Amino acid sequence: MAHDKVNQGQKDTEGTLTNRQGHPITNNQNIRTVSNRGPATLENYDFIEKISHFDRERVPERVVHARGAGAHGYFESYGTVGKDPVSKYTRAKLFQEKGKRTPVFVRFSSVIHGGHSPETLRDPRGFAVKFYTEDGNWDLVGNNLKIFFIRDAMKFPDMVHAFKPDPVTNIQDNERFFDFCANSPETFHMVTFVYSPWGIPANYRMMQGSGVNTYKWVNQKGEAVLVKYHWEPKQGIKNLTQKEAEEIQAKNFNHATQDLYEAIDNGDYPEWELLVQIMNDGEHPELDFDPLDDTKLWPEEQFPWLPVGKMVLNKNPEDYFAEVEQVAFGTGVLVDGLDFSDDKMLQGRTFSYSDTQRYRVGANYLQLPINAPKKDVATNQSGGQMQYVVDNAPSQNPHINYEPSFLGGLTEANQSGQEHTPRVEGNLVRQSIDRQNNTKQAGETYRQFEDWEKDELISNLVSALAPSDRRIQEAMIALAEEADEEYGHRLREGIKRAPKGGSSQKSLGSRAGEQAVQDAIKKGH
């Protein structure tokens, strides 16, 4: 898609090196100097263009999810959701017909670590999908895990600060991570996943995905239901123990990018099925959690996973920067038939994504081929750095870059179905939700883990918590005890017996006196 435009500069020159002005480069080895020993002259246009472009090669990395890999592919709809036609719940065009294909671009990522960090580190993984639909783009910006650390967007910058390196030493520090988590008990369910093997997926192909936040589907009559999206890998799910991850990391810190690239290059195209959970719109007082609380799973027995389509990734990017680095996903990017829920995290996220992208990529980031929809765009927006597309081109009168007008400018679209107009009322407040139940599902998750997953969880938590302040340890143990008696007991005993000093490196996933910790855990069991 994008590549004709990306490589435009080289097209006419048939392999001959030029500068960006189209001038042939006859000498790419030497700058222009007075005699071959210098000094150099200031009019060295070719050199100055080359070096000054190089000086600007990087844009700011994503403030989170900096390390990633991407691929192109397609989504194919089943036309149904479970036994029902999908139109019962949503009028979104991409889902309506069985077999209908929509092109996609996917970016997988790790979250906290920087742009070239090892892909073996303990972290959630990002799973962001851009659907280039006939109605414009839809971005489903998800993670591999189905829940999140916090439930209010206000806390996100603090959370990220605590998880990122210390502002003084620039060293990532488990004590800061657990200090935030111990003081934010809603994180405990996510911590239970992240410190288990689910915190290190073996690669990107063998991990699930989830939209995490709650959205709505809207049908032709304007009726809405709440939905959660999940991606299930056809390759199976595989997670790593800490030891396995360390062994890979010793030899290769790009293993997940490499795995994805090589699989696609070899024609072994990875596939995921898209499934949704559906709930009637409302507060659901019968549940012991709020359906809009993203720290909670919707129990599968009550809200079954219903398949709606599959996604195949079958083409590698041609240029990492143009596509994977500059791609911009956002939770606000929905198409007709899809809507927001009142999920407070989702609302906060929706401001943040396009805001950061106007800074990270630039005001006209949506004109880049990887971000532009594959359909005509007709806006009255103009100007800004790097504008090169005339957005109101389909208008009958290019002089009219405003609306409304008698003189032939762009006009409003017709509504394609009944608008969904939920009624909202209440006092304006700053309050957390009811039914917080911070540890119950963490206990259920712990009990559902296989024995080796429980062992890993305890061992990883003990190693990571051992060097922390006693108050942080106690608060984390109390959360584990509240979640599950055995979980709490094993964590308490493990920490009691672990060497206090820990290792000098306290970053996520590091080991504090590996053997001693293992011994302590066995004894505490």
Among 44, 96, 252, 356, binds ligand HEM (CB under 6 A): 356
Closer residue to ligand HEM (CB): 266 or 385: 385
Q: Closest by alpha carbon to 465, among 510, 507, 495, 499?
A: 495
Closer residue to ligand HEM (CB): 106 or 182: 106
What single string gives the DSSP state of each residue in 251-306?
H-S-HHHHHHHHHHHTT---EEEEEEEEEESS--TTSSS-TT-TTSPPPTTTS--E
C-alpha distance across the termini of the chain, in Å: 57
* Residue 260 found at the interface with ligand HEM (CB under 6 A): no
Beta carbons within 8 Å of 506's beta carbon, 6+ residues apart: 171, 172, 173, 174, 175, 464, 467, 512
**Separation of CA 277 from chain center:** 20
Among 44, 82, 88, 156, binds ligand HEM (CB under 6 A): 156
Task: Mark whether 36 is an active-site residue.
Answer: no
Task: Mark whether 65 is an active-site residue.
Answer: yes
**Which stretch, 188-196, 200-208, 352-360, 422-430, contacts ligand HEM (CB under 6 A)?**
352-360
- C-beta of 355: minimal distance to ligand HEM in Å? 7
- Kind of pairing between the strands at 215-218 and 209-210: unpaired
- C-beta of 263: minimal distance to ligand HEM in Å? 19
- C-beta of 323: minimal distance to ligand HEM in Å? 11
- The span from the CA of 356 to the CA of 305, in Å, is 33
- C-beta of 64: minimal distance to ligand HEM in Å? 5
Number of residues that bind ligand HEM (CB under 6 A): 27
Tokens linked to 69: 């890999």
Among 172, 184, 208, 357, binds ligand HEM (CB under 6 A): 357
**Which stretch, 130-138, 161-169, 345-353, 470-478, contacts ligand HEM (CB under 6 A)?**
345-353
Among 67, 100, 107, 130, binds ligand HEM (CB under 6 A): 107
Given 65, 113, 189, 255, the catalytic residue? 65
- C-beta of 107: minimal distance to ligand HEM in Å? 4
**Which stretch, 6-14, 71-79, 268-276, 355-363, contacts ligand HEM (CB under 6 A)?**
355-363
Q: What mask, x for binding ligand HEM by CB under 6 A, covers residues 53 to 92?
A: ---------xxxx--x------------------------
Closer residue to ligand HEM (CB): 105 or 217: 105
* Residue 214 found at the interface with ligand HEM (CB under 6 A): no
Residue nearest to ligand HEM (CB): 126
* Residue 212 found at the interface with ligand HEM (CB under 6 A): yes
**Separation of CA 359 from chain center:** 18
- The span from the CA of 316 to the CA of 396, in Å, is 39
- Beta-bridge partners for 73: 104, 313
- C-beta of 134: minimal distance to ligand HEM in Å? 23
Between helix 514-524 and helix 485-497 the angle, nearest 10°, is 140
Closer residue to ligand HEM (CB): 142 or 291: 142
DSSP one-letter code for 368 = S
- C-beta of 136: minimal distance to ligand HEM in Å? 18
Beta carbons within 8 Å of 115's beta carbon, 6+ residues apart: 61, 66, 67
Q: What mask, x for binding ligand HEM by CB under 6 A, covers residues 311 to 330?
A: ----------------xxx-
Q: What mask, x for binding ligand HEM by CB under 6 A, covers residues 479 to 508?
A: ------------------------------
- The span from the CA of 496 to the CA of 291, in Å, is 38
Among 303, 353, 446, 487, binds ligand HEM (CB under 6 A): 353
- C-beta of 334: minimal distance to ligand HEM in Å? 15
Tokens linked to 308: 């709606």
Restricting to residues 118-147, which ones interact with ligand HEM according to CB under 6 A? 126, 128, 141-143
* Residue 345 found at the interface with ligand HEM (CB under 6 A): yes
Q: Closest by alpha carbon to 492, among 510, 479, 505?
A: 479
Beta carbons within 8 Å of 307's beta carbon, 6+ residues apart: 78, 81, 82, 273, 274, 275
- Are 420 and 407 in contact by the 8 Å Cβ rule? The answer is no
What DSSP element (H or E) covers 110? Answer: strand 101-110
Tokens linked to 44: 């060295």
- Are 446 and 484 in contact by the 8 Å Cβ rule? The answer is yes
- The span from the CA of 153 to the CA of 351, in Å, is 10
Q: Is 353 annotated as a binding residue?
A: yes
Closer residue to ligand HEM (CB): 151 or 490: 151
Given 72, 113, 137, 143, the catalytic residue? 143
Closer residue to ligand HEM (CB): 327 or 517: 327
What DSSP element (H or E) covers 51? Answer: helix 45-55
| Annotated binding residues for heme | 353
Applying CB under 6 A, the residues found at the interface with ligand HEM are 62-65, 68, 107, 109, 126, 128, 141-143, 148, 153, 156, 212, 327-329, 345, 348-349, 352-353, 356-357, 360
| Annotated binding residues | 353
Residues labelled as active-site residues: 65, 143
